[in-house]
Amino acid sequence: MKKILVTGANGFIAKHIILELLKKNYKVKGTVRNLSYSNTIESDIKKHFNSNFDIEFCEASLDSEMGWNEAVSGCDVILHTASPFPQKKPKNEIDLINPAKEGTLRVLNAAQQNSVERVIITSSNAAVYDGNKHITEFDEKNWTNIDANGVSAYTKSKTIAEKAAWDFVSKNSSIKLSTINPVLVWGPALGNHSNSTSLIICRMLMNKEMPMIPRMKVPLVDVRDVAKAHVSSIENNNSIGNRFLLCENTYWMKDISLKMKKMGYNSPIIVAPDFLIKFLSNFDSTLKEASSKLGYNYSIKSNLAKNILGFDPIKVEKTIEDTCIYLKNLKSNR
């Protein structure tokens, strides 16, 4: 059975990928920035996997050459999920962009040096649709316009890192690359991911941490579907050379909040006037990107993922419900 390397093995998406790989009897190796994370990862997965399993861990960081050759050695496939994501806005956007790009290239170089031909990178819809407000329907052919106003450093980092990966393989044809580009990922995490940036909007809506809702759309996909798509990409050679957008659908934030309201949560239902969000964005950097998307009505198509990877997304109501239950239980267990 193939051995799969999962980079950033303690991540929200990565743990679900590892669980799916174990269910299919793959051998799994994971990279972590510190080996002290390994016990927590194993413990979190054990709660959802009945059989005994063995995961090999090694230390490797995106900002260092150390450890990558050892990590990649003996593996058949690399699932590169690791990516820097700041808890706060970096003082200089290059401090986020460079580690993402250079980290991706480190993984690809290690793959090439160790004759690992198959690499699947977890990218993002952030590399697809930002800065393109003239477009209302997106698919894998689209790329984010990093020069547009309101494009965040994180969005630029994902776009530049993915483009660097495709450029690398165009010059090194031995590597067979695919990228998985999920939209905003919700769903129940394995273990404590209360600080996951993916789940911040859900937490804020279910707990009414924002009194009013911006007039903006949010694209959603379930983490369990994202994990399955990664494994499907390993098993389907037709995925080679392709990007795969993963999106259940796009929703106005008010509609998401109303769904939560029906589930019994104290969610806000009043939509904030656009001028108020724009004004507040001058004082709150987290609203800066939101203000550039106010009223923007768009859709994201996942036809390629459906046709090649068998992507059959979990309905958003279940994703919302399971995410809220997870966050509620996490809060009560503190």
pLDDT digits (tens, 9 = 90+) for 94-148: 888 988 999 999 999 999 999 999 999 999 999 999 988 899 999 999 999 999 8
Confidence of residue 87 (pLDDT cuts 50, 70, 90): low
pLDDT digits (tens, 9 = 90+) for 250-293: 999 999 999 999 999 999 999 999 899 889 888 776 777 788 88
Whose structure tokens read 């939560």?
A: 260
> What is the structure's pLDDT at 133?
87
Catalytic hit among 158, 254, 259, 288:
158
What's the average model confidence in pLDDT over 10-25?
96
As to burial, measured by CB atoms within 10 angstroms (0-12 exposed, 13-18 middle, 19+ buried), residue 78 is buried
Domain ranges of the chain: 3-332
Cα–Cα nearest to 81, from 22, 163, 158, 134: 158
Which amino acid type is present at position 209?
E
In DSSP terms, which residues pair with 56 in a beta bridge? Answer: 29
Confidence of residue 90 (pLDDT cuts 50, 70, 90): low
Give the CATH number of domain 3-332.
3.40.50.720
pLDDT digits (tens, 9 = 90+) for 32-71: 999 999 999 999 999 998 888 889 999 999 888 899 999 9
* Known catalytic membership, residue 278: no
Mean pLDDT value across the chain? 92
Among residues of the chain, what percentage have pLDDT more than 90?
75
Confidence of residue 149 (pLDDT cuts 50, 70, 90): confident
> What is the structure's pLDDT at 88?
62
The answer to whether residues 26 and 4 touch, using CB atoms and an 8 Å cutoff, is: yes
